[in-house]
């Protein structure tokens, strides 16, 4: 029986090369600005393709024919076994597509025996011909002539992370240090999209019988009143929102009082409709999103950006996000009242494996976003 110890790493890299890298590029928000002549310009990623390792792939030698390079040569010459990342940018002026820009964004290490490797689907005789072991399984990289796995453990293994798209009931004393009135109770969720970009949010319970949601943007934490988010996601009125939150808990007077308290607080701040909630959120985040918003975009657009990229990002529409937050609120109240026990992220049932290709994909998406922001600044 053959041992395919590296198969899951190779398959994850194949997903990165075939589908994931394009999805990651398309997921990067477009940059928008106004030119000196007053035209509204938008630049966004249209496509991304990963090539195959070759000699002449660098910018300094684009005029020569590219010759395939094999892993054995990279080991002997102290090279990195890598392939070019080809990007296509779309440029729009006043909402009309003007032209595309094709360029090479850099080079990415290629995993051995993946479908971007020249050893892909080679039999034992062909592997020997290219100076490889006949039982070569791949699953690792060659960096400056050295064979390396993605993590420095000396073995090929999986990385463990929190279970994705699942709300944890957490009891953690450190939550009390987040601010005034914070308690140890919270609902944490690691939301992950198809291209493996993640967003972590925590729904906190306060001593004032209200909820506050913490969201992250560029590794910075922001706290938003829970009712603001519910309002921004739906056009329902106060009574309908109250009915949805308390559904299934008709005899829970304490929970009903908490919900009424949050609704009253929101109305006191004049957040009594979806448009008002979007304006309130957008005005608060507009400074943070300065390099992401165009001069002609409104506070509502800023709020929509936050809701799309920072809150329940695995869900495609606002209605699904609304009901996800409703479920989190009900679970948080059950935790506060002692009806359920706290869950520990260290338990195997609340963990999942992250393989090399998925980790690289999240990193590549972040770098693509940074490059687009840098382009706007220049």
Average pLDDT, the chain: 89
| 3 — pLDDT class (breaks 50, 70, 90) | low
pLDDT at 33 over 60: yes
For tokens 């660098």, name the residue.
Answer: 58
Q: Are 278 and 311 in contact (CB under 8 A)?
A: no
209-266: per-residue pLDDT in tens? 999 999 999 889 999 999 999 999 999 999 999 999 999 888 899 999 999 999 999 9
Question: What is the per-residue pLDDT across 154-164, written as a single tens digit (0 to 9) for each?
Answer: 334 457 888 99
- The arrangement of strands across the sheet holding 31-34 comes to 31-34, 40-50, 82-93, 96-109
Mean pLDDT of 87-108: 90
pLDDT of residue 148: 82
Could you tell me the domains of the chain? 7-158+355-377 (no CATH), 161-351 (3.90.1110.10)
How large is the average pLDDT for residues 63-71?
Answer: 76
- Judge residue 298's burial from the number of C-beta atoms within 10 Å of its C-beta, 0-12 exposed, 13-18 middle, 19 or more buried: middle
Residues contacting residue 208 through CB under 8 Å, at least 6 positions apart: 181, 261
Take residue 323 and report the two structure tokens written for it.
Answer: 């009901």
Give yes or no for residue 63 having a pLDDT over 50: no
List pLDDT tens digits, range 281-305. 999 999 998 878 888 899 999 999 9
Burial of residue 75 (CB within 10 Å: 0-12, 13-18, 19+) is middle
């Amino acid at each position: 029986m053959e041992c395919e110890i590296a198969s899951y790493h190779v398959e994850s890299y194949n997903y990165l090369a075939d589908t994931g890298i394009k999805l990651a590029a398309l997921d990067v928000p477009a940059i928008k600005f106004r030119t000196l002549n007053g035209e509204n310009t938008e630049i966004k990623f249209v496509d991304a393709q990963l090539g195959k390792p070759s000699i002449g792939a660098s910018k300094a030698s684009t005029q020569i024919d590219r010759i395939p390079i094999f892993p054995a040569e990279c080991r002997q010459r102290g090279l990195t076994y890598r392939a070019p990342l080809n990007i296509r940018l779309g440029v729009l002026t006043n909402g009309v597509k003007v032209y595309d820009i094709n360029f090479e964004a850099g080079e990415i290490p290629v995993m051995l025996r993946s479908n971007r490797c020249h050893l892909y689907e080679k039999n034992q005789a062909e592997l020997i011909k290219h100076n490889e072991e006949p039982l070569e399984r791949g699953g690792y990289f060659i960096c400056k002539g050295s064979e390396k796995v993605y993590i420095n453990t000396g073995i090929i293994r999986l990385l463990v992370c929190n279970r994705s798209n699942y709300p944890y009931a957490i009891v953690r004393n450190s939550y009390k240090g987040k601010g005034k009135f914070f308690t140890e109770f919270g609902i944490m969720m690691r939301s992950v999209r198809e291209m493996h970009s993640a967003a972590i949010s925590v729904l906190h319970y306060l001593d004032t019988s209200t909820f506050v949601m913490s969201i992250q943007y560029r590794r910075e934490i922001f706290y938003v009143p829970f009712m603001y988010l519910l309002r921004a996601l739906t056009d329902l009125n106060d009574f309908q929102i109250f009915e949805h939150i308390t559904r299934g808990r008709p005899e829970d007077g304490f929970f009903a009082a908490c919900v009424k308290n949050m609704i009253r607080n929101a109305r006191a701040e004049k957040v009594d409709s979806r448009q008002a909630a979007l304006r309130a959120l957008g005005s608060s985040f507009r400074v943070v999103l300065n390099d992401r918003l165009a001069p002609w975009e409104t506070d509502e657009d800023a709020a929509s950006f936050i809701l799309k990229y920072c809150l329940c990002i695995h869900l495609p529409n606002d209605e699904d996000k609304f009901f996800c937050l409703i479920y989190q609120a009900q679970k948080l109240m059950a935790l506060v009242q002692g009806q359920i026990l706290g869950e520990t992220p260290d338990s195997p049932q609340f963990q999942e494996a992250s393989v090399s290709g998925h980790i690289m994909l999240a990193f590549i998406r972040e770098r693509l976003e940074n490059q687009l922001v840098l382009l706007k600044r220049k």
